[in-house]
């Protein structure tokens, strides 16, 4: 890992962007642009915070009990699940959601944008350590655009000489005032795999809008590219737009599961909903040598009621 002085000399943007030592000594990119503030950890290339100036509250939930340690996942923000989503697909006891979220990435570029936003580029390449977990050559690039919207583009490059398959997710933890007064719009009629405790992956169909009463752990197949989280407590809407994805994952642990998570404080589960842009479940991405696949998530917030979104 390059030291902070070297990183700032190469990539700092004056008052708009600098790299600082964060919790646990992990390097953190701090952004203060004309449009928004944000924090991105090099550990996992994880966006931890994002708040447009026109919003009173952050859009991303970050647990006060999050663990900041090499090899550990940070609870909150937008973790990157890659090269598999969920349990190790080969059943070898490897980490849930892969290794991208627990590995240090390289900061390779920063840029001030003409509209006042900031662009950050981070890269992860295969190493002997990653090949011990997943025996493939790859180049993974994340481009994060911080403006009035948060835009994340995750590109997987197959740099090896054999085909490989991945599942993945941009695992967005979205702040809500109270989950009891929250709805997710756009998934009515969509089929999903129910992975909540005791459901054992049974397939169901969504009836009406998604509401949150107890644990919700669902993989929606053939999901529309635009979803809207309606937060009646904070009186705002958050729009989530997906590209390169036909799967949406919706998760909240509910009381019982949350009580078993040491990196969540009591009641924290009531303050977030995970709406994840994903290729998961039956949606598997296969890349031949030289192929590139990009997964994109765009998160936008509105205080007042915007025009009703069109679900394509």
Q: How far is CA 96 from CA 13, 76, 79, 91, 100, in A?
A: 36, 16, 12, 10, 11
147: tokens are 């403006």
Quote the tokens at residue 40: 């991105």
- In angstroms, rounded to a whole number, what is the distance separating the alpha carbons of residues 105 and 126? 11
Q: Bridge-partner residues for 200, per DSSP?
A: none
Rounded to whole angstroms, the Cα distance separating 16 from 30 reads: 8
DSSP string, 130-148: HHHHS---EEEEEEEEESS
Contact 212, 202 (CB under 8 A): no
Helix (H, G, I), strand (E, B) or coil at 308: coil
CA pair distance 283, 86, nearest whole angstrom: 13
In angstroms, rounded to a whole number, what is the distance separating the alpha carbons of residues 63 and 147? 23
The residues assigned a catalytic role are 171, 276
- Rounded to whole angstroms, how far apart are CA atoms 304 and 289? 47
């Amino acid at each position: 890992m390059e030291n902070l002085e070297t990183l700032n000399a190469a990539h700092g943007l004056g008052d708009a962007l600098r790299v600082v030592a964060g919790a646990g000594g992990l390097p953190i990119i701090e952004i203060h642009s004309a449009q928004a503030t944000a924090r991105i950890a090099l550990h996992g290339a994880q966006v931890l915070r994002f708040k447009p100036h026109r919003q009173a509250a952050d859009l991303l939930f970050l647990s006060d009990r999050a663990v900041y340690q090499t090899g550990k996942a940070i609870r909150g923000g937008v973790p990157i699940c890659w090269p598999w989503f969920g349990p190790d697909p080969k059943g070898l006891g490897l980490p849930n959601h892969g290794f991208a979220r627990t590995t240090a990435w390289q900061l390779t570029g920063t840029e001030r944008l003409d509209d006042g936003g900031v662009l950050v580029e981070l890269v992860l390449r295969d190493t002997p350590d990653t090949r011990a977990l997943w025996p493939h050559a790859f180049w993974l690039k994340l481009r994060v655009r911080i403006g009035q919207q948060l835009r994340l583009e995750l590109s997987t490059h197959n740099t090896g000489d054999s085909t490989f398959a991945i599942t993945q997710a941009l695992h967005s933890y979205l702040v809500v005032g109270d989950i009891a007064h929250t709805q997710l719009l756009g998934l009515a009629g969509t089929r999903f795999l129910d992975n909540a405790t005791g459901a054992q992956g049974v397939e169901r169909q969504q009836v009406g809008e998604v509401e949150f009463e107890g644990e919700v752990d669902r993989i929606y197949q053939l999901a529309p590219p635009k979803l809207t989280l309606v937060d009646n407590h904070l009186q705002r809407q958050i729009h989530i737009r997906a590209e390169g994805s036909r799967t949406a994952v919706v998760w909240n642990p509910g009381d019982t599961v949350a009580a078993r998570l040491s990196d969540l404080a009591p009641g924290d589960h009531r303050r977030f909903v995970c709406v994840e842009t994903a290729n998961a479940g039956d949606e598997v991405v296969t890349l031949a040598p030289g192929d590139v696949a990009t997964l994109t998530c765009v998160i936008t917030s509105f205080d007042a009621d915007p025009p009703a979104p069109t679900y394509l």
